[in-house]
Amino acid sequence: MNNCKCCDNQFEPTVSYQIYCSPHCRDIATKEKIAARYVQSKRQKRKGKTRLCKSCSTPLSIYNDDSVCSSCSVNPDAVTKAIKEIKGKTNGKK
């Protein structure tokens, strides 16, 4: 008995090199591998190139898949609203 590399279910392999219990699990694993390779190649293309945040023009990491930095991706209105709610709850207001 072997454990499937995708779903971890036990199965009886039909050939000695079988690692997935079904064609469905094999397809899922293949799609995940292709997606991972795509992300990796996309990052490699960014290496050596300067990418800047569209909002504040700070340099972006090759690992940042967005066009804005993490500081700019936060909605300032939502932060202000959350702070007001927290202040209201700490002051006894609801």
Task: Identify the burial level of 60 via C-beta atoms within 10 angstroms of its C-beta, where 0-12 means exposed, 13-18 middle and 19 or more buried.
Answer: buried
36-51: pLDDT as tens digits: 999 889 888 888 888 8
Measured distance CA(24)–CA(47) in Å, rounded = 35
pTM reported for the whole predicted model? 0.54
- As a whole number of angstroms, the longest Cα–Cα distance in the chain is 68
In whole angstroms, how far apart are CA 63 and each of 22, 42, 47, 67, 69? 34, 9, 10, 11, 11
Annotated domain spans of the chain: 2-90
3-state secondary structure of 10: strand
Residue 64 confidence class, pLDDT cut points 50, 70, 90: confident
Q: What mean pLDDT is predicted for residues 65-70?
A: 85
6-35: pLDDT as tens digits: 999 999 999 999 999 999 999 999 999 999
